[in-house]
Amino acid sequence: MTRISGTKVVFGRPELDRLIALLRADGYRVIGPCIADGAVVYDEVTSTEDLPEGWRDDSQPGRYRLDATGDGELFGYGLGAQGWKRFLYPPRQMLFRAEKAGRGFRIQQRDDDGTPPLAFLGVRACELAAIGVFDRVFHQKGFEEPGYLRRRTDALVIAVECARAADSCFCVSMHTGPALPAGYDLRLNEVVDGTRHVFVAEAGSERGAALLDRLSVDVPPPALVAEAAGQAEAASRQQRRRMDPDVAGILARSLESNHWEEVAKRCLTCGNCTMVCPTCFCTTVEDVTDLSGNNAERWRTWDSCFTIDYSHIAGGALRQKASSRYRQWMTHKLSTWHQQFGVSGCVGCGRCITWCPVGIDITEEAAALAQAEGTSAAGQGHLAESPGDAGQGR
């Protein structure tokens, strides 16, 4: 029987296919990387045929392209365009239906959205860290989010360690990767060279160990184990981008920085960064009725702190200016998140950099704010519409 962590095994591509088939037979919906519309996206996979064989992404600020490598790697890309968020916390969730009854409404609670258990194939270290952030957000005492917790508890995580870094990556400086720590059911390292295409695997949970027991595996030779172990280090060395280690402090001191107006000149306030961020969890709740008014539904949908409605309270929206909205997002993500959840809200995946249509780079903005410190016109009140509103997300 396979032991949890420590025991490494090796298998080939046919066994990966068998793993997918076993999971499907066990009732899991297997979600993994696929190619769609010129990018790697996470979607349902039925075999390794669906995986992005021989494709590598070139992820730069505001620009993403896939390059064919022809090397047969299944996990040679960096990240999917969107993370696992949309599976664990879907963009639109119906909370309940209500039916008019006398002068009030009868609520029909909706406990379960009917999602089958999910198996995530190809989770990266930064993505695992992001799921860890979500676990904190949705598992606070008194604020448990039952839908998330159910999907999360059911989900099986097959992590794949990065063998290279993309241009946008900065997980090293966020201490979230590229090496996989714990928190997975199974971890894989894909090794491809002229003579072999294999996966070095290790179980991280009882569930993962039980799965490995059902596969036909071999004991990997020490040289292969060493090669697999060197992948994350190589990926670390490739990373050019880094977040300033004092970013939480820089932001706390930069609330009145002139630099926010500079970012605002470029910021489209389109919300793309928040949509692709694997830890942005903000939602809005809307009630809809039918024409008769006898039936109503309550929906929770993804929201973004870049919209005007997001900060709308009695009397109007607090954050009219793009500068105050960008400041809110970045300050919450990298500074006040620590106070709220005891951890940074950023995992260094770089999606906000890649998928910002104008390529605003959060690490460069942090560096620019650091540089502007001491030269800012604190107290001049150019952000006076919302003094000190850079607080916590709702």
The DSSP letter of residue 218 is B
183: tokens are: 């928190």
Distance in Å, CB of 13 to another protein, minimum: 27
Interactions with another protein, residue window 341-360 (CB under 8 A) = 354-355, 357-358
- How many chain residues are in contact with another protein, going by CB under 8 A? 45
Residue type for 94, please? M
Is 44 a binding residue for another protein by CB under 8 A? The answer is no
Is 330 a binding residue for another protein by CB under 8 A? The answer is no
Is 270 a binding residue for another protein by CB under 8 A? The answer is yes
Is 339 a binding residue for another protein by CB under 8 A? The answer is no
Residue 306 CB partners (closer than 8 Å, separation 6+): 267, 269, 270, 271, 273, 274, 325, 326, 329
CA distance 212 to 192: 21
Q: Which H or E element spans position 56?
A: strand 55-60
Sequence-ordered alpha helix ranges (H) in 3-48: 13-25
Residue among 304, 311, 324, 386 that touches another protein (CB under 8 A): 304
Is 301 a binding residue for another protein by CB under 8 A? The answer is yes
* Residue 195, Cβ density class (10 Å: 0-12 exposed, 13-18 middle, ≥19 buried): exposed
Handedness of CA 166, 169, 170, 174 (dihedral sign): negative
Q: Which stretch binds another protein (CB under 8 A): 139-147, 259-267, 337-345, 372-380?
A: 259-267
Strand partners, 138: none
The pattern of x and - marking residues 214 through 253 that bind another protein according to CB under 8 A reads: ----------------------------------------
CA atoms within 13 A on the CB side of 50: 18
Is 287 a binding residue for another protein by CB under 8 A? The answer is yes
The pattern of x and - marking residues 92 through 121 that bind another protein according to CB under 8 A reads: x-----------------------------
Q: Which stretch binds another protein (CB under 8 A): 3-11, 113-121, 140-148, 287-295?
A: 287-295
CA 73 to chain centre: 23
Binding stretches for another protein (CB under 8 A): 36-39, 41, 62-65, 81-82, 86, 91-92, 265-272, 275-276, 286-293, 301-302, 304, 306-309, 320, 322, 354-355, 357-358
